[in-house]
A and B are shown apart, each in its own frame.
Chain A
Amino acid sequence: MKPRILLALFIIPLGLIIAAVPQNKTRPYKLTANEMLNEANTRTQFVTSETVADMIVNKDPLLQLIDVRSQEDFERYSLPGAINIPLPDLLSDQYADILNQDVRMNVFYSNGTLSANEAWMITRQLGYSNNYVLEGGLNYWFDTILNPQKPLSTNSDEEFAKYDFRKGAGQALGGGAVVQSEQTQTGSAAKPVVKAAPKKKKASGGC
């Protein structure tokens, strides 16, 4: 038999099989319990409230806030631009495209961090990337962004910079703080200026 006929007899059936079977869309990639524990321990899933506030104020198109609380809670209060995916509906098909993508940065939040972390663990286990958790949840959000505590005068400049940023962001996001901290007060400070928090901490003190 000619080699070409032999080849045809072999690969045409294989081609027919591969054309007939549905494509395998399941992702075999899963994290083992150890890897999951490791990821949870390194806490890389958390983004700070400052980072999120900065992104909201700057209208960063990459940010996608996802409220995993119930719909009633969501309607009562939610962060600007957030969408509501209640935790029990997390695996519903209509949200799959939102949760499984490589472009935007999904940030889950709940009142504390428990529900948001659960959502993160489930999506992480499915192999989705780009999902994060708002550190401290809405409770911490209120404490730090909407109602920040003025640092003591003995605190470092860094603390004051952070406070000023939080206060500015808080005002931009409808919080209650109005008083400028003394350290940075200027004569014509009519409008609160949202300053970006320093991204990397420099070594403070010492020589």
Chain B
Amino acid sequence: MGPLVVNELISENTNLFLAFIIGIAFGFVLESSGFSSSRKLAGVFYGYDTVVLKVFFTAAITAMLGLLFFSLFGWVDLNLVYVNPTYLTSAIVGGVIMGAGFIIGGYCPGTSFCGASIGKIDGMVFIGGLFIGVLIFGLGYNLWDNLYMAKDMGSPKVSESLGMSDGLFALILIIVALAMFTFAEWAERKFPREEY
């Protein structure tokens, strides 16, 4: 059956419309869970609030289990699901830049829009910085396109690289995530802050 677009069960435009609805729902949930507060988001680096880690890992695990079970029931063909290609160098460099920006600005791109939409000025400033970054990357593309395109690994899956089945890797990831949640909550007790 799925993916719906690839198998032409829905059109490209319907797909975009669904993405729009899901995006709004995502933004709403994000805001109502307090993700529009840069102090809460930055808390994950200092240990006093690890809700970001917990929410996003829970989301990843839910999506992973959902896709694997859908595939098991024959509802979705995982071979037809688009996987972002991996460029190892730029993934690492980009990850470092993104992480630094996260600590300094207190937002990641999605949550900055979340904050800006309820009128938070730091969110708007963050978006301004985001566009400056986009501009610098775009205008200076010739300077770093070698770095950007280096170490093209195609679209590998971690499970394939480790030589295990998708299901086994999923189980391991679930256990790792739960262990991480326990550690995160320990950190919250260890480095508490009264108000943020």
B55 nearest CB across to chain A (Å): 12
B181 touches A (CB below 8 Å): yes
Contact with A along B68-98 (1 / 0, CB 8 A): 1101111101011000000000000000000
Contacts of A24 in B (CB 8 A): 71-74
Q: Which 4 A-B pairs have the closest CB atoms?
A: A15-B171, A19-B171, A18-B167, A15-B174
The stretch of A3-11, A47-55, A165-173, A182-190 that contacts the partner chain: A3-11
Nearest Cβ in chain B — how far from A10, in angstroms?
10
A18 touching B77 in the complex, CB below 8 Å, given contacts A4-B181, A23-B166, A24-B71: no
Residues on B lying within 8 angstroms of A by beta carbon are 1, 7, 58, 61-62, 65, 68-69, 71-75, 77, 79-80, 165-168, 170-171, 174-175, 178, 181-182, 185
List, in ascending order, chain A residues with CB within 8 A of B62's CB. Answer: 11
Which residues of A are at the interface with B, using a C-beta cutoff of 8 A? 4, 7-8, 11-12, 14-16, 18-24, 26-29
CB distance from A126 to the nearest CB of B (A): 13
Interchain CB contact under 8 A, B185 and A4: yes
Asked if B1 contacts A20 (CB within 8 A), the reply is no
Of the candidates A4, A14, A18, A22, the one having the most CB atoms from chain B within 10 angstroms of its own CB is A18
Number of residue pairs A-B, CB distance < 8 angstroms? 63
A14 CB to nearest chain B CB (Å): 5
Question: Knowing that A18-B167, A18-B171, A24-B74 are A-B contacts, what are 7 other residue pairs whose CB atoms are under 8 Å apart, sorted by A's residue number?
Answer: A4-B178, A4-B181, A11-B62, A19-B170, A23-B72, A28-B75, A29-B7
B182's partner among A4, A12, A21, A22 (CB-CB below 8 A) is A4
CA distance A26 to B7 in the complex (A): 16
Cα-based distance from A8 to B176 in the complex (angstroms): 11
Contacts of B68 in A (CB 8 A): 18
Q: A121 CA to B130 CA in the complex, in Å? A: 52
| B182 partner residues in chain A, CB cutoff 8 A | 4
A21–B69 CA distance with the chains assembled, in angstroms: 10
Contact present for B58 and A7 (CB under 8 Å): yes
Q: Which residues of B contact A11 (CB under 8 A)?
A: 61-62, 65, 174, 178
A28 contact from B74, B168, B170, Cβ within 8 A = B74
Q: Once the chains are docked, how many angstroms separate the CA of A15 from the CA of B168?
A: 8
Residue numbers in A under 8 Å from B178 (CB-CB): 4, 7-8, 11-12
A8 to B178, CA, bound (A): 7
> Are A21 and B167 closer than 8 Å at their CB atoms?
yes
